[in-house]
Structure 1
Amino acid sequence: MTPTVKINPTGLLSRIASSKSYGCLELDEGLVSWKIYLQHGKLKYVYCSAQLLDQFKYYLHYLGWKQALEALKSPYFTKIQSFIQDQPSHQSLYSSVISWLLAEQYLTSFQGSKLIEQMTKDALQSCLWLNRGTFSWHNQEPIPPWIQEHFGNPLSLNISEHLDLEQKRLQQWQKCSTELLSVHQRPYFASGWSQKSLPSPGSLSNKTLNRLAQIVQGRISIRQLSLLLQKNELHVAQILSPYIDNKIIYLRDAQSPLDLLPSIPRPEKTIQKPSQVTSLTKRKRNIVCIDDSPTILKEIQRFLGQEKFQVTTINDPVKAVPIIFHVKPDLILMDISMPRINGYKLCSLLRGSEHCNETTIIMVTGNTGLIDKARAKIAGATDYLTKPFSKKGLMQIVEKYLK
């Protein structure tokens, strides 16, 4: 696997646009990739590999293409859906569905062009939030053949204007709750929330909150909720933020594969008082994080990356042991509830090896019972961290063992 590096997609695109180059900028995070097609400083199309049929339906709903939306609910489409989703890797889910809708005349060429524009803007936003990965430039590479076949050359967007617009939108997203990582997260109300004091910055009445609690229940995303409320998704996120910060509303992970998309970037601290500098800053320490939730891994990486740790994330516990032996971490953060092999068993395996018999292992879980803590200790865990946790809580336990 090619090592990832710190990248700035906005800077890359600005330089390419100013040079009036023609081709494709490919960005790869490891689990998600993007292809950005440009021609003479204009944005022609953006492809993102994280594609979901429900997200495609959102685009249709947002644009008001009701006939196409109803076609995707028809028994006939249900029958051919698995065939469409199993298309070769060179033909994306979205391109297959669009081609079918056009062939069956559920979508006009004009509507298809508008759909591609909406998909491009959305993919561009997620791409600009990327901060680590690999990139390559493919000179003279044209837009995908299926777009040329159906629409010719439909888009010609001013890239500089869109980069400025996205930067302003990002600044607004960064003012939302720090728990909010993505518009695809799914809100739900905490048990007994109605007994809690409502936050003073909150703008919703008890009646509205009760109705909202019945709607969300962790099943629909913030983006889908914005459609139901007929409000801008950023505005919905701003409204929910005080309730998220006060633990009245919690957020479930985005639906796969949208949970693999980059999280909302947060400003890095640029000034640090000498008294705040700990021995941790004297050299980079290696930390391995093992969790089957990409959202949790990204959050831990964001917290610890800001403190200049070398963080390795692993989302498949079965593959963890050889990676850990290679990295030789100073500390391991490990979720307990994982598929195929849980944290207790993995911890025991590591403790049985001479490579990790003295490595600090912190078990991370949503359970708070004494039995769970006892099981963690028996398995060989050094300590225990309960979810949900804040950056302060995570740093306290890391600093405790890496001084």
Structure 2
Amino acid sequence: MMQGTLSEIDLGSILQLIELGQRTGELLIEPWGTGTGRSESAITSRERVCWFLFFVNGRLVYAADKTYGQLQRLREYLRRYQLSEQVQVLADASLASTNAPEYATLWSLLAKNILTPLQARHIIQGMVQETLFDLLNLRQGRFTFVTGTALDPPLTAFAISPLMGQMMTQMQQWKQCHPHIQCPDQVISAVDEALLLEMLPEKLARPLIFWANHHTSLRQLARYLHRNLPAVARSLYPYIEKGIVHLAAPSGQGLGTASPLPRDTKLQNYHIICIDDDATVGRQVEQFLQHGAIQVTVLTDPRQALVSLLETRPDLILCDITMPVLDGYELCAMLRQTRQFQTIPIIMLTGKDAFLDRVLARMVGATDYLTKPFGKHELHSLLETHLRILWDDLPAVSVPTEARIS
């Protein structure tokens, strides 16, 4: 295993070490402080993001972006082939248990002859390039490389040195668009339709007007058109510079925007299972989630928990990592191998500053993690993200806000 911080070694050097060592495994990069103005320890689990890079014999085969576990990015790439509606829940449990969700879905589409191998390789190439583009702009964070089998079978592979040369060229092209274009997630907010129709052929102007009306981001546009981000930025730059096209900061939920699930506007019943051999943790979770619409089942024996889970279908699972006989990693991996639990959120409860715990949790298919100690608001925030609960609409719970689970 190799780990450290990006202040000690840059991404390019990390990739060179992996290439020279012809290593096979997964590189996780987790930033901190990015855009928050706060220290790493002050960022909540809901605000954390991470990227995964997958290598086989020192060659990069796939890169998962910060929406790891979601499939919106894949849908946006498939839109170019008019296949975005083909993304369904995986039917192949073996693929789902040994691969990143997005990558496994690609293979599922290939197996069903919905997607061609060439189309799949083009999609992965775009994903790899846009992920590296984001990471090369990252200055604060930490990384962990874990050796082992990564993605089986690999669909394609990229030699790192020439790929990094391409990315350096893209970075230079991107910087030439500053200050008018600064962020890949900026959205096209407005256009001067009359001027566009006057300056451009209608077949070019009309799509631009459409994208503006739907607040499409530069990143989405690159995915739709199968072009890299600098190429899209350079195409739009003359019109942005003249004020004919306007960009806005990431906002709104435009067409195809990779966004959280819509929040529920009406109350429904939820069943949450908490698996922790420490009964105190379970009782505290029950207190934090005390409401008639939420049923909490606490299980302290992980072996019995596995049996109980297979007999029911909870809406979300909280699972401690360190447990006797059967730990949280093993339990999560077992659940992800069954079709019933492929889409249910599994939240791992990790120790404070246990970075490796979070790496391994992602590797076995965990949806998210919650770092101990945590309080009521942190738990509520996480459940709001994954279950769409509107906590503001729930009656207040008489639990001290300073109470924390350790």
| TM-score normalised by L of structure 2 | 0.46
| TM-score normalised by L of structure 1 | 0.46
Of Structure 1 and Structure 2, which has the larger fraction of its residues in helix?
1
